[in-house]
Amino acid sequence: MPDFKNPFRPGAGHTPPYLAGRQYECKEFLRLLSQERILENLVLTGLRGVGKTVLLETFKPQAINDGWLWVGTDLSESATVSEDKIAVRLCTDLSILTSGIVVSTSVVQKMGFSSDVELTEHTLGYQTLLDIYNSTPGLALDKLKKVLETAWRVLSSANHPKGIIFAYDEAQNLSDQAQKEEYPLALLLDAFQSLQRQGMPLMLVLTGLPTLFPKLVESRTFSERMFRVVFLKSLKPNESGEAIHKPIEYDSCPVKLSEDSVQTIIEMSAGYPYFIQFICREVYDAFMQKIDRGERASVPTKEIEQKLDTDFFAGRWAQATDRQRELLSIIALLENCNNEFSVQEVVERSKAVLEKSFSSSHVHQMLGTLSTQGLVFKNRHGKYSFAVPLMEKFIARQGLVT
Ligand SMILES: Nc1ncnc2c1ncn2[C@@H]1O[C@H](COP(=O)(O)OP(=O)(O)O)[C@@H](O)[C@H]1O
Ligand SMILES: [Mg+2]
């Protein structure tokens, strides 16, 4: 038998064997690329495991093919707590593009690079960008704008790109810190808005959890107009079907799935990309074993559910206290728990089913804690949703409250 390996890849940021759906999102991205002037930037948001990172990865070659430059990274929390740190982040990312470009001392001086800083190199590398930042007089905003302007001027005269995309994954980690008087998020938004107004084609593409966009708006209300928000959802049934069968529709693939099996996987996963990869990888292995033993195979739903519970849900559940679990169980009883629910709805349901019900302020406070634990999230209208897909089914299986 030829050596066909299990193609499915559950795991954060792992390129799927076949990227299903997402035509609409790609079209939106291409539309933003075609802007004469950057009026709209992109926020790509959605629950963990829905496919933001891998979609962002596919945007990159499309943008480059279209003549754009691309910089960016995964934003770790530590990189983004202060204004200077976000500036260092941008200098680091830009320097990958600019470091090969040699500039004369006079050019650098004309760009505002003060002459009392000794120029040790004539390439626009990280250190030079950082020196420009540090030596530009004024506020952090003036400094950052100078860096971006300089980099753009040099890059645009070198090979005439359409613009630069700044792509930041996990951007919900960006945070203004009022107590410390550090506003890195506001700084980023102000700098891009101001430069875009001057006609500079520098575009932001931010991806992150559903807390991202509310955070942007909270920092700067103009974010409402500055971003096109694309909310990634689970895949439609036909797209899920493609994600399941396309990776194995090869003659050399020993595993064949019946229409029934595909349907079962679509239902179990509810179209969530991470679950599709997870379940398919298990199904593939299970089928291989059966084939080896010459048996007929079907999807082992109970076993897979069990494995999902221990591998995916149990860790999150373990973090919750008894009382939080009780609250989560109440939420899982709500018909609209998959969509969004209000504090009031939780309070009412708890009165109906619990001896010791929850008060409104208690629910508020507990949902706040559960948000920081990444189990629920609050949207801009003050309503909540589960932050983990299919959580309500897992909770129901625990049978705590009925
Ligand atoms: N459109 C898709 N079709 C098939 N699998 C996908 C798709 N999008 C994501 N996946 C898979 O889902 C999992 C989670 O994707 P990821 O991009 O890490 O999600 P997120 O960044 O939203 O948390 C990965 O295993 C990935 O291969
Ligand atoms: Mg991701």
Task: Return the structure tokens found at 383.
Answer: 């309503």
Task: Return the structure tokens found at 189.
Answer: 């938004």
DSSP result, 174-219: ---BGGGTB-HHHHHHHHHHHHHHTT--EEEEEEE-TTHHHHHHHH
Atom number, ligand 1, closest to the C-alpha of residue 276: 5
Residue 20 beta carbon below 6 angstroms from any ligand 1 atom: yes
Residue 16 beta carbon below 6 angstroms from any ligand 1 atom: yes
Instruction: Tell how far the Cα of 147 is from the centroid of ligand 2, in angstroms.
Output: 28
Does the fold of domain 320-398 match that of domain 23-231? no
Query: Could you say which ligand is closest to the alpha carbon of residue 56?
Result: 1
**Sequence letter at residue 98:** T
Residue 247 beta carbon below 6 angstroms from any ligand 1 atom: no
Q: Which of 258, 162, 239 is nearest to 203 (CA)?
A: 162
Task: Give the model's pLDDT for residue 99.
Answer: 86
Give the C-alpha separation, 263 to 237, whole Å: 9
Query: Could you say which ligand is closest to the alpha carbon of residue 171?
Result: 2
Best of 19, 274, 311 for a ligand 1 pocket test (most atoms within 8 Å of beta carbon): 274
Which residue has its alpha carbon closest to ligand 1 atom 12? 274
Domain regions of the chain by residue span: 23-231, 237-315, 320-398
Instruction: Tell how far the Cα of 35 is from the centroid of ligand 2, in angstroms.
Output: 26
Instruction: Tell how far the Cα of 76 is from the centroid of ligand 1, in angstroms.
Output: 20
Task: Give the model's pLDDT for residue 109.
Answer: 58
Task: Give the model's pLDDT for residue 221.
Answer: 96
The topology under which CATH files domain 320-398 is Arc Repressor Mutant, subunit A (1.10.10)
If 0-12 CB within 10 Å is exposed, 13-18 middle and 19+ buried, where does residue 305 land?
A: middle
Residue 53 beta carbon below 6 angstroms from any ligand 1 atom: yes
Task: Give the model's pLDDT for residue 388.
Answer: 83
Query: pLDDT tens for residues 318-372?
Result: 989 999 999 999 999 998 888 899 999 999 999 999 889 999 999 999 999 998 8
Query: pLDDT tens for residues 86-136?
Result: 999 999 999 999 988 877 665 555 555 555 545 455 788 999 999 999 999
Query: Could you say which ligand is closest to the alpha carbon of residue 8?
Result: 1
Is 124:98 a contact under the CB 8 Å cutoff?
Answer: yes
Instruction: Tell how far the Cα of 55 is from the centroid of ligand 2, in angstroms.
Output: 9
Residue 26 beta carbon below 6 angstroms from any ligand 1 atom: no
pTM, two decimal places: 0.90
Q: What is the mean pLDDT of the chain?
A: 90
Please give the CATH architecture assigned to the domain spanning 23-231.
3-Layer(aba) Sandwich (3.40)
Is 68:162 a contact under the CB 8 Å cutoff?
Answer: yes
* Largest separation between any pair of C-alpha atoms in the chain: 79
Task: Return the structure tokens found at 390.
Answer: 């299919």
Mean pLDDT, rounded, for 289-304: 86
Give the C-alpha separation, 278 to 313, whole Å: 13
Best of 18, 54, 266 for a ligand 1 pocket test (most atoms within 8 Å of beta carbon): 54
Which residue has its alpha carbon closest to ligand 1 atom 15? 51
Instruction: Tell how far the Cα of 272 is from the centroid of ligand 2, in angstroms.
Output: 14
Give the C-alpha separation, 54 to 89, whole Å: 22
- Of these ranges, 191-205, 291-305, 353-367, the one predicted with the greatest mean pLDDT is 191-205
Give the C-alpha separation, 244 to 139, whole Å: 53
Which of 3 and 279 is assigned the larger pLDDT? 279
Q: How confident is the model at residue 249 (pLDDT cuts 50, 70, 90)?
A: very high
Residue 146 beta carbon below 6 angstroms from any ligand 1 atom: no
